Structure 1
Amino acid sequence: MLDSFFDHAAMTDGITVRVSVSYLPEQSAPEEARWFWAYHVRVENHSDRAVQLLTRHWRITDAGGGVNLVEGEGVVGEQPVLRPGESHDYVSGCPLPTPWGSMEGRYTFVVVDGEKTGQRFEAAIPFFPLEAGETAQ
């Protein structure tokens, strides 16, 4: 079931990643070729094992075809542990030099309990568009 607040979702190995995105005109400056979006991510553990989010891998594409790959530890400075049934929410932002683009990616997790402790796996972050709307173009 897709939570009505989140427009985009992907499920991999019992991990659901949901995303909602909003264009922020007050933080954008189209006359300076700068558009800004906030995105809210919820990571849900629907598996039967506890996992820890280790790294993030984002592919951010702008309207001109420019691609920015972003990789790093955790999300907004955290590497949350999610036990079965738990979720973790965070909000971050993305500037682009164009009024539209897209984001997608993956998180790397490690199993932290049970017989598969130490096993790493990746969970998809769903593709989602970044669209400023007609007022910003």
Structure 2
Amino acid sequence: MTDLPTSGVLEALFPYSATTGETTVRVSVGYMPEQSSPQDSRWFWAYHVRIENHGEAPIQLISRHWVIKDADEVIHEVRGDGVIGEMPVIGPGASHDYVSGCPLDTATGTMQGSYQMIDSEGKGFEVAIPLFELEGPRS
């Protein structure tokens, strides 16, 4: 967890963002040619997510729900506990960052979703993950 840097820098580093209440989710994404094999219909992206707590009490990420759509309009939904094996507690004015990846059978697609969180009193709430584009190289 890190302290929140000034805005402007964050917008440049994370072009996709969504704010729900006092929580902001930012995403940057990059195509990974070394892990892709277009001749085998496999494209791969890495994405960096930053979850910021702008509130005055800690929050905890409990689970995730992703909706991944490829260029053929095939939708894959992913649900699971935490993120990359963690259920991070994010203190007031702090953030949690993680990096993960997504393979697709097409050269383009989109991802979006939500995190299920709990506040310091154990009350659950949902936070939006912004829609972001997965774009492979242009031929």
Q: Same fold by TM (over 0.5)?
A: yes
TM-score of the pair, normalised by structure 1:
0.93
> Which residue pairs with 1:18 in the alignment?
26
User: 127, 131, 139: which one pairs with 1:127?
Assistant: 131
Q: Pairwise mapping of residues 78-117 of structure 1 onto structure 2 (< 5 A)?
A: 78-112=86-120, 117=121
Q: 2:76 aligns with which of 56, 68, 73?
A: 68
Q: 2:38 aligns with which of 12, 23, 30?
A: 30
Q: Distance in 1 between matches of 2:61 and 2:115?
A: 7
Partner Cα separation in structure 2 for residue 58 and residue 48 of structure 1 = 27
Deviation at 1:93, TM superposition (A): 0.2
Structure 2: how far apart are the matches of 1:47 and 1:13? 9
Instruction: Indicate the residue corresponding to 2:4 in structure 1.
Output: none
Query: How many angstroms does 1:78 deviate by?
Result: 0.4
Q: Deviations over 1:2-44 (max 9, x none)?
A: 5111010000010000000000011100010000000000000
1:6 to 14, 17, 20: 14
Matched residue of 2:86: which SS?
Answer: coil
| Residue 118 of structure 1: how far off its partner (Å) | 1.2
Q: Which residue of 1 aligns with 2:47?
A: 39
Q: Distance in 2 between matches of 1:37 and 1:82?
A: 26
Q: C-alpha separation between the residues in 2 aligned to 1:91 and 1:46?
A: 21
Identity of aligned residues (%): 53
Shift of 1:133: 2.0
* Two-structure CA RMSD over aligned residues (Å): 0.8
Return the offset for 1:47: 1.0
What is the letter of the counterpart of residue 130 of structure 1? L
The number of aligned residues is 131
Secondary structure (helix, strand or coil) at the match of 1:78 reads coil
Structure 2 distance, partners of 1:49, 1:108, is: 16
Gaps of 5+ in 2: 1-6
The residue that corresponds to 1:53 in the other structure is 61
Uncovered stretches (5+) of structure 1, i.e. residues with no partner:
none
Q: TM-score, normalised by structure 2?
A: 0.92
